[in-house]
Amino acid sequence: MANATTSDVIAFIEAYAGVVAEHKRELTKLDSAIGDADHGENLDRGFKAALERMPGDDATPAEILKAVAMALVSKVGGAAGPLYGTAFLRAAAAIDGREELDTAGIVEALDAGLAGVISRGKTELEDKTMVDAWSPAVDAAKESLEGGAECSEGLASAAAAAEEGMKATIPLVARKGRASYLGERSAGHQDPGATSTYYLFQTLADMAGSDG
Ligand SMILES: Nc1ncnc2c1ncn2[C@@H]1O[C@H](COP(=O)(O)OP(=O)(O)O)[C@@H](O)[C@H]1O
Ligand SMILES: [Mg+2]
């Protein structure tokens, strides 16, 4: 794949906003089992707001991600808005000033986003959160990049790892967020945030795969 330009980053945000809208009910249903039944609505509201205030393609990729972060932080209450907001903000900082992103740059942004969630959420692996999908996805992307894989291949393996991580949240007992209030009763349900994170990586993989 050629380097990702600002237009590609905008196209990614548009695509992910569409995926979130499409899966809004499913995400909210997952949250109704172990939370307060708003995860789909929260993200849908946040990404719709992000689309409304999207800068033009004369902005840098970092400026696009920063605008998304601001929309998420200001429009989405609860845990996931500020957490995804922090992720997009940290991702923006990691690629600040660059006009285009090569594969390594994309992975840097994803890695910085993960670090943002972890520091803001004080999250560890197996807390039954979005980190359980995000962290293995970044590991898989790094590993395939180091092995010399193409961007599309690296992002496909990241999405596969995110999906596996998402499914692996099912048996876990939540230690963070609202689901943790349920204690042992949170086991047996897939984490909504890990699910929306899987969709994020799947959207990236689909985009990278479709333009070669
Ligand atoms: N400390 C945390 N670190 C990482 N992710 C978290 C944390 N707390 C909650 N989450 C994620 O947020 C998701 C819930 O998001 P959402 O329903 O939108 O917010 P809220 O829990 O405030 O209603 C959870 O499924 C989980 O993945
Ligand atoms: Mg919720």
Closest CA to 138 of 179, 108, 178, 174: 108
Whether pLDDT at 1 is above 70: no
Q: 6-210 has which CATH code?
A: 1.25.40.340
* 48 Cβ contact list (under 8 Å, min separation 6): 17, 21
**Per-residue confidence (pLDDT) for residue 212, from 0 to 100:** 44
d(CA 135, CA 161): 9
Whether pLDDT at 106 is above 80: yes
How high does pLDDT run on average in the chain? 96
pLDDT in tens, 21-64: 999 999 999 999 999 999 999 999 999 999 999 999 999 999 99
Cα–ligand 2 centroid distance for 84 (angstroms)? 13
* Minimum-distance ligand 1 atom for the alpha carbon of 191: 25
Cα–ligand 1 centroid distance for 50 (angstroms)? 19
Q: Near ion ligand 2, which residues have CB within 5 Å?
A: 31, 35-36, 38-39
Residues in the chain: 212
Work out the angle at residue 21's Cα, subtended by the Cα atoms of residues 15 and 22, and round it to the nearest 5 degrees.
Answer: 90
Question: In sequence order, what are the beta bridge partners of 4?
Answer: 101
d(CA 127, CA 176): 6
